[in-house]
Structure 1
Amino acid sequence: MTRAWVLPMLFGFCGSAVAAGLILRGSPGAAAALLLVFVLLAGVNSPLMFPRSIGALEAERRSAADGRPVVFWRPGCKYCIRLRIRLGRSARQLHWVDIWRDPAGAAAVRAANDGNETVPTVLVAGRPHTNPDPAWVREQLLPSA
């Protein structure tokens, strides 16, 4: 669980250190702007940006019941962040599994990707799709006509 917070904490620490240096040099405005950028980077890379994760077995059970896709992800993954941002509010309709917190989720991703933990891996109707286009994922949420 702590591994998910390493990158956001690193952004926060580095931003604070650089901002402190800028303040000591007499540039409080630049320090505030730079600190804001680092805080935003920390937020985007934190697990807080993603909907609440559940276990892989529970996600697959829910997906079988409601037909919504399962997204396997991990904190700090730029492709996962891209998918989350581009999905917008519809991301909350998906079932999210953090593979760093769930060994069964990591195993499912390795099984789908020749032993690699390549994320995001989206499971739609029991079939895995590695790093799919966010527009395609959004289409999978639309009810069948």
Structure 2
Amino acid sequence: MPGTVTMYSTSWCGYCRRLKSQLEREGIAYTEINIEEEPSAVAIVEKANDGNQTVPTVVVEPDSGAGQVTMTNPSLADVKKALAA
């Protein structure tokens, strides 16, 4: 699928592991940023989640130019829809 997917995660997050597995199964490339290892990424996650460090936080940038979409704990269908926009 066209576009880019960035997933902000932690090493202990089960929801992150599930979504990563689903993306890999579907052949959707993504970049993972572990907020425990990248302290600067914490601000991005907190901004998207009203000050909370909720993961997975996923940022999708479709190639269509439709604009960046930020989602918290999205389903695979949500990610695919954002990529297709």
**TM-score, normalised to structure 2's length?**
0.75
Runs of 4+ in structure 1 deviating by more than 3 angstroms, as ranges, are 138-142
The unaligned stretches of length 5 or more in structure 1 are 1-65
Amino acid at match of 2:69: R
1:96 and 2:32 correspond: yes
Aligned residue in 2 for 1:138: 80
Alignment partner, residue 121 of structure 1:
57
Aligned to 1:69, what secondary structure does the other structure show? strand
Q: Is the 8 A contact 1:68 1:124 kept in 2?
A: yes
Q: Please point out which of 28, 36, 43 is paired with 1:107.
A: 43
Distance, in Å, in 2 between the alignment partners of 1:86 and 1:69 is 13
Higher percent of residues as strand: 2
What's the secondary structure of 1:135's corresponding residue? helix
Give the CA deviation at 1:117: 0.5
Give the TM-score taking structure 1 as reference length: 0.47
Higher relative contact order (CA 8 A, sep 6+): 2
Aligned Cα RMSD in Å? 2.1
* Secondary structure of the corresponding residue to residue 80 of structure 2: helix
Q: How far is the alpha carbon of 1:141 from its aligned partner?
A: 4.3
Indicate if the aligned counterparts of 2:58 and 2:70 stay in contact, CA closer than 8 A: yes
Question: Which amino acid is 1:104 matched to?
Answer: S
Q: How many residues align?
A: 77
1:23 is aligned to: none
Q: Give the percent of matched residue pairs that are identical in Structure 1 and Structure 2.
A: 38
Which structure carries more helix by proportion? Answer: 1
